[in-house]
Amino acid sequence: MSAPRGKFRDSVGSAGSSKYHWSVVVGIPLAAILFQVYVPRFVTDVAYLELPLLATVYFALTFRSPVAGLLYGASVGLAQDSLARPQHPLGMYGIVKTLVGYFTAFVSQRFDVRNSSIRAILAFFFYFFHDFFYWVLSRALLGEAVDFDPIRTLVRAMLNGAVSAPLFLLLDKLKTTE
């Protein structure tokens, strides 16, 4: 069953039962990046939120296709890279989110990821993976002497995991049922 033009199939539910409009698939990560650019200026406490990552995890989980997941992750990562400071080379977030998109979709093929708590755990895990791998790339490829604080990253991963549960439920509401 192929999705009609302008629709992206959600593979989590029963096959072909619900879809996303293209504007949701494109608009949500853009809104997430804009949130990351704009909101921490006024509410510094939300700077820990990595909404582009949560959007990548959510859509990679729903696509359940590693190729779609990695392409989606790469696009979101490159968009995020392009809004970083000019010394930050393009591709750092791109590579990390490519891996996140791929592995998230890979996991979704093997487990039932409709459960909110499982999705929150995956968001927690992939946040930690994302930060750790970004740190590895920063040191290995750019030679930057950046610190990695595992405790702080774990706390932030837990917070992002906690935020992901209601966020993913909200995003579920954006599905258009046939």
Partner 1 sequence: MDFFLNRFRNLTALLAAILAQLALLAYQIKSGQDVRLIRVWAVTAVTPLARFIEGGRGGLAHFLKNYVLLLNVREENQRLKADLDRTEMENQYLRAQLSTADRAVALAIFQKTSQSKTLAARVIGNTTDPNGKAVIVDRGAADGIQKGMAVIKPEGIVGKIIGVFPHASDVLLVTDPSFAAGVVSQKNRVHGTLKGQGQSTVIVDYIQNEEAVQPGEWFLTSGDDLIFPRGILVGQATVVRNGKSRKEVYLAPSGMQSGLEDVLIVLDGVHGTITETPLPNQPMHLLAPPDSDAGERFSPAAESGSAAASTVVTDLDRSVEHYRAIGAAQNHRYGDKNSPAPDYNVTPENPARPVPPPPVPRP
- The stretch among 9-17, 67-75, 115-123, 162-170 that binds partner 1 (CB under 8 A) is 67-75
Binding mask 75-114 toward partner 1 (x if CB under 8 A, else -) reads ---xxxxxxxxxxxxxxxxxx--xx--x---x--------
- Report in angstroms how near the CB of residue 178 gets to partner 1 at its nearest: 27
Neighbouring residues of 70: CB distance < 8 A, sequence distance ≥ 6: 98, 99, 101, 102, 105
- For partner 1, the closer of residues 72 and 175 by Cβ is 72
CA 131 – CA 103 distance, rounded (Å): 15
Query: Of the candidates 136, 26, 19, which has an alpha carbon nearest to the alpha carbon of residue 79?
Result: 26
CA 173 – CA 177 distance, rounded (Å): 10
- Report in angstroms how near the CB of residue 105 gets to partner 1 at its nearest: 9
- For partner 1, the closer of residues 1 and 140 by Cβ is 140
- Report in angstroms how near the CB of residue 17 gets to partner 1 at its nearest: 24
Beta strands in 25-121 (DSSP E): none
- For partner 1, the closer of residues 47 and 169 by Cβ is 47
CA 29 – CA 139 distance, rounded (Å): 27
Query: Of the candidates 72, 81, 73, 75, which has an alpha carbon nearest to the alpha carbon of residue 36?
Result: 81
- The site for partner 1 (CB under 8 A) is made up of 33-34, 36-38, 40-42, 52, 66-67, 70-71, 74, 78-95, 98-99, 102, 106, 134, 138, 141-142, 144, 146
